[in-house]
Copies of this chain bind each other. A is one copy, B any other.
Amino acid sequence: MRDNTFTIDQIARALGARVEGDGGLRIASAAEPAMAGADQLALAMDAKYADGLAEGQAQAAILWDGADWQALGLKAAIFVPRPRYAMSGLTSLMDPGPFIKEGISGTSDIHPSAEIGEQTRIGPMVVIGPNVKIGKNARIASHVSIAEGSTIGDNALILQGARIGARVQIGDDFIAQPGAVIGSDGFSFVTPEKSAVENVRESLGDQGDAAQQSWTRIHSLGSVTIGNNVEIGANSAIDRGTIRDTSIGDGTKLDNLVHIGHNVQIGQDCLICGQVGIAGSSRIGNRVVMAGQCGVNDNIFVGDDVVAGGATKIFTNAPAGRVLLGYPAVKMDTHIEIQKALRRLPRFMKSLQRDK
């Protein structure tokens, strides 16, 4: 078992940060100031935590700029230039990672044609299909399935019960949370004759005289291509493309319960938060941020650096750099202006009717 304690100097080195006091002090884990025990590092990056430090037992802390660590009763302090960023280094250092035994579990079912890289760990009851290629240092937890012909780069972390579909291509440093599905079939159906939905779309509201008919499936011949450094959240689902692949660019992160339709293309370094849905064939630029429960219509384009607030529903193309909010999405300041007007509207209408 590895030693799970760290010296203050070790932590500071990992963060590129400055130490004052006893750099040799050992700590076991991190805690909020008021709840910290004597062997824990208090995270007190803001002066508002001074009282918390007094309540807790911490002997060492990460402190806000200019804090007087001795007056706070500490034996050691770490000072970081950008506290929020320091959290990434600190938590990465202290994360023990999931328990997955070295080697390949005897209860897993790995097709003989699969190529598995060095140092890759495969947990119990994993199923890996023909012609799969997995890079080195991967960690694959229990109950995962990786279907025929898919390729995964180095250092992947694939958690319990995630599903990688056939012919999916994934880069290095991939993370899949439990239950993520990558490569479900696209939702694409067609009627022998024109359907009511096609009429509604053309006319903006009129069903026309579409016949009563059943849906025939358009199969997904494409797959999913994912870049390097991508993370997919728990129970999210990414559909295969119809002819070409659905694609997600380098550095993009998807939260839990996100739905990505067939043929969607997402650029690099996007943040797609919980329960966002992106309908078929839409294209999302680079560095786009969508807060929870946003929706994107099918066949539209969302430009680079768009930021969409919670539950924004984007029905039409959004130019690069736009900050959006609302259903339907409008510029955030327009949305705020409309909402202010709406709050006053009932009284306003009454007063005007009185005036008449």
Contact = CB atoms under 8 A, between A and B. Distances in A.
Contacts of A271: 189, 197, 215
A307 interface: yes
Contacts of A212: 269, 286-287
Contacts of A112: none
Majority secondary structure of chain A interface residues (helix, strand, loop or mixed): loop
Task: Identify which of A234, A235, A338 gathers the most chain B CB atoms within 10 Å of its CB.
Answer: A234
Q: Which of A99, A243, A297 has the most CB of B within 10 A?
A: A243
Contacts of A5: none
A141 to B, nearest CB: 8
Nearest to A31: B243
Contact of A200 (B127, B236, B323, B343): B323
Nearest to A321: B207
Nearest to A30: B243
- What is the count of identical protomers in the complex? 3
Q: Which of A107, A178, A181, A311 has the most CB of B within 10 A?
A: A178
A342 B345 CA distance: 8
Nearest to A254: B187
A13 interface: no
Interface residues of A, number: 133
Contact of A190 (B87, B105, B178): B87
A344 interface: yes
13 contacts: A30-B221, A35-B244, A88-B218, A99-B166, A178-B184, A184-B256, A197-B289, A200-B307, A212-B287, A257-B259, A292-B295, A295-B310, A338-B346
Given A178-B184, A235-B237, A344-B349, 10 more contacts: A32-B243, A88-B216, A88-B217, A124-B127, A145-B161, A177-B184, A200-B307, A205-B333, A213-B269, A256-B259
